[in-house]
Structure 1
Amino acid sequence: MRQLTTYRNLQIFLVLMAIIGMSFALFYLQRHLGLSPCPLCIFQRIGLIVMGGFALISALFNPKSKVVKLLLWLGSLAGIGWSTAVAIRHVWLQHLPADQVPSCGPGLDYWLDTLPMLQVLKEVFAGSGECASIDWTFVGLSIPELSLILFSVLLMAHGVLLWRIVRPITNQSIAR
């Protein structure tokens, strides 16, 4: 079991989860089912990609320095933390009573073309009617709820990863 939770193996797990998550979103939900991602979905994907990118760098180069490992871990954690926070907001919007759901506004493309980035972030997090709609479910869970479960598992993996960085496996601890 300890060999499964080595630094490099955990990084590979994070990369695989990012690939699986993005493949499911792009190829199944978007291309096969024809579901267009709302702004909050796009922001969740961005965080997952950031996490996967930092994990890929860590897995490929397998740094020896604890400082470098911690910096890469922080980048990865920031990505998945971002995705988790956006997913929480998304789930909250979906559970609002119908009369409290924000109205639909212009799309993300329009906001990016016409507003400063901080205003775009504000508008996206305010949510819109399209973010509150539930277009697909699996075992009674919406896409943001399923994403939140995945992101929570990835956050737990980051906890184990931090433990591996702080207290690495040694040959002595394996022999016990």
Structure 2
Amino acid sequence: MRSTLSGASVRQWSLVGLAFCALMMGVALALQYVAGLTPCPLCIFQRVAVLAAAAVFLIAAIHNPRGRGGAAYGVLGLAAVGGGIGVAGRHVWLQSLPADEVPSCGPGLDYMMEVLPMWDVLSRVLSGSGECAEVKGAWLGVTLPQWTLLGFVILAIIPIMLILRELCGATRR
């Protein structure tokens, strides 16, 4: 395992992570603009998490730090991906609720962003609404939030590898 970790630089791992983020965003945008699926507020927050992880990977790829810098980018990337896992997990949970336990639909995200402070918007979106519990699409029997959750779990491998590189004493070539 040590040779695998030391064989790839921070830049290489980060470019793989960035490419995976681009793939996730490409699928999300295709579903929105080609398939006509309107994203719910939780879907939008998941996209923000993908973009945050992509930003970390992009900066890490440009910087290509030596030593502990790679682990620092790994921690930042893992925080962004972890946020995405949390939001996607919440979305999957909402969709698994029985119909009588689904929260009622609230105001739209655009309206909340204009009227409420950001903390209240986050709180209301993460508490969920009826529109987020609606299953709008599935592929191979797996709902879109479940696919997104799987994507975030796979994406988490990249920052974990950046952290493990440092813990195993790998150095940049």
Gaps of 5+ in 1: 172-176
Identical columns (%): 40
In structure 1, the partner of 2:49 is 47
Q: TM-score, normalised by structure 1?
A: 0.89
The separation in 2 between residues aligned to 1:29 and 1:43, in whole angstroms, is 16
Count of residues in Structure 1 that have an aligned counterpart in Structure 2: 170
Q: TM-score, normalised by structure 2?
A: 0.91
The separation in 2 between residues aligned to 1:78 and 1:127, in whole angstroms, is 22
In structure 2, the partner of 1:33 is 35
Is the 2:105–2:131 Cα contact (8 Å) retained in structure 1? yes
1:61-112 per-residue CA deviation (whole Å, 9 max, x = no partner) reads 201241x323322221111111000000000000000000011111001111
In structure 2, the partner of 1:12 is 15
Which has the higher relative contact order, 1 or 2, with Cα contacts under 8 A spaced 6 or more apart? Answer: 2
Gaps of 5+ in 2: none
Post-superposition offset of 1:35: 0.8
The separation in 2 between residues aligned to 1:32 and 1:129, in whole angstroms, is 24
The separation in 1 between residues aligned to 2:127 and 2:164, in whole angstroms, is 36
Pairs within 5 Å for 1:1-176: 2=4, 5-26=8-29, 28-66=30-68, 68-169=69-170
RMSD value over aligned CA atoms? 1.9
For residues 64 and 123 of structure 1, do their structure 2 counterparts lie closer, same or farther at Cα, with a shift above 3 Å needed? Answer: same
1:142-162 per-residue CA deviation (whole Å, 9 max, x = no partner) reads 110000111111113322221
